[in-house]
Structure 1
Amino acid sequence: MLIQTLAAAATSAAPQNKFGFVEALQAGGFISYATVSILGIMSFGSFFILFTKWFEQTKVIGQYRSGVPTFWRAGSLKEGVAKLEKNSAWRQIVDDGILAEDQTTKLVDQTEAHDWLHGSLARSEATINAKLAGGLPFLATVGATSPFIGLFGTVVGIYRALIAIGLAGSASIDKVAGPVGEALIMTALGLLVAVPAVLAYNYLQARNKRIAELLTSFSTDVLANIASHGAVKPALPAAAAAKPAAPAAAPKK
């Protein structure tokens, strides 16, 4: 019984930590909670966009590598389009090209017909690129504004520290440590949210540029194929263009 009493007395006498993260939020009140909530929403949105757009880009690149070489081995665009995955970017370009080719028969000027075909494929590219770029403005906004949101929390923390100094009449460490610690935490949170958002934005932008280059190349090849009535096709890599050779017949005895 005596041991338990001594242990309880020692526990009650031990100094309590008043400068932790939760304690800093509680001391900052509504402004601290609001700042952390906004930064948390920004961070969640940034990582959500990073992973969803990465999977989307990976799918588009995978469809190009697996479907486009097979597509060009077909006899015509209408035969090859069935070999492309439905609802894929590459099939959308071919479908729009075939539709534009059918519509050119209604145009009497061949120059206008070519411009219509070229414009239709360019419009299809722009639609795909715009879809791939969706969400990236949010990452750019988070990367640009989250440090300032954290700075707002920092300014409030410093202001509270100055008030504590003024009320106490002296700059003792126990009066300013809490507000200053809160201010530093807000600064760190702002940077912690901004850095991944900027890195994710640059990474996804680089992948989108690569996909845009592939889309432009593929669209140009489709346009040339339509304009030449199937005579012009891109040169495929040897591994993709080569077909398995038929087994040689056994010599008759």
Structure 2
Amino acid sequence: MGGLAAFWQEGDALIRTVALLLLAMSVASWFVILWKSAMLAAAARRVPRAIAAFWAAPHRQDAPAAALAADPQGLTVRLADVAAKLDNQAANPADRADDASAPNWQSRPDRVRRELRSALNAASRQLHAGHVLLASVGSTAPFVGLFGTVWGIYHALTTIAATQQVSIDKVAGPVGETLIMTAAGLAVAIPAVLAYNALGKRARALDAELEGYALDLQHLLSGEAAPRHANGSA
């Protein structure tokens, strides 16, 4: 800790700014890592359960409520809401006429595709939220640390030159301490890159599951062939 304290005390404003920037990037990336890990773990449990509950409902009108009960605040809520909304419009033409978002010239299959696509895009954005930050931290943190190292070496060498006392101990100490910035940049970047790849894989798996669910809903709501999960009462 003495080396770090000495490095902080001897560093100029730019070095301290770079160090604080790396600290902020680390805190932000770890917040996203912990938050997304918990969110995706919960989604991996709830999404299949909600989809199964939807298709296991005894009656078609009960299916959206069953999905909502299994995943009340999860990724399937928007898709189940679309199913309930379009079924209500089909059962109550007055509701259809009052819906300004669905003009009369649009066919039911067109409305189903549009509504489901919008809900699926919203769910996908929720799944991938924070991944841009992880990618940005993983790609820029090493260069931020390297910039701190280069500037620290320059600052150390100019200080040594001003004293006009050049020896290996006076060069190795300050230059070695500036390498801390490179190590700090790598320490920030490596967890962000690993988390980006791991969380991205889990998010893509859930994306695929939701796309299959949306496709089955499209067939069901458009009045096309029965989906592969639907039971005889759907």
TM-score, scaled relative to structure 2: 0.83
Alignment of 1:98 with 2:93, yes or no, is: no
For 1:107-186, list aligned pairs within 5 A. Answer: 112-169=107-164, 171-186=166-181
Structure 1 residue 102, shift from structure 2 partner = 4.1
The equivalences for 1:43-58 within 5 A come to 43-58=26-41
- After TM superposition, the structure 1 = structure 2 runs for residues 77-88 of structure 1, keeping only pairs within 5 Å, are 77-84=60-67, 85-88=71-74
- Distance, in Å, in 1 between the alignment partners of 2:151 and 2:24 is 20
Mark the runs of 5 or more structure 1 residues left unpaired by the alignment. Answer: 1-16, 242-253
Aligned ranges for residues 1-253 of structure 1 at < 5 Å? 20-84=3-67, 85-103=71-89, 106=96, 112-169=107-164, 171-228=166-223, 232-235=226-229
Structure showing greater radius of gyration is 1
**Secondary structure class of the residue paired with 1:20:** helix
Is the alpha carbon distance of 1:113 and 1:159 closer, same or farther for their aligned partners in structure 2, counting shifts above 3 Å? Answer: same
Deviations 1:86-135 (A, max 9, x none): 222223202112313444655666x7321111111011000111122211
- Which stretch of the first structure deviates more once superposed, 156-165 or 184-193? 156-165
Shift of 1:199: 1.0
Uncovered stretches (5+) of structure 2, i.e. residues with no partner:
97-102
Q: Deviations over 1:197-239 (max 9, x none)?
A: 111111111111111100100011111122338x724248xxx
Determine the C-alpha separation between the residues in 1 that align with 2:56 and 2:222.
18
Between stretches 178-187 and 189-198, larger displacement belongs to 178-187
1:203–1:136 CA distance, 2 compared to 1 (3 A):
same
- Give the distance between the partners of 1:132 and 1:193, measured in 2 at CA: 23
> How many residue pairs align between the two structures?
218
Q: Is the contact made by 2:139 and 2:189 (CA closer than 8 Å) also made in structure 1? A: yes
Q: Secondary structure at the match of 1:89?
A: coil
Cα distance in 2 for residues equivalent to 1:103 and 1:79 = 15
Percent identical among aligned pairs is: 32
Q: Hey, what's the Cα distance between the residues in 1 that align with 2:157 and 2:80?
A: 67
CA drift at 1:68: 2.0
RMSD of equivalent CA atoms: 2.4
> 1:72·1:233 contact (CA, 8 Å) conserved in 2?
no
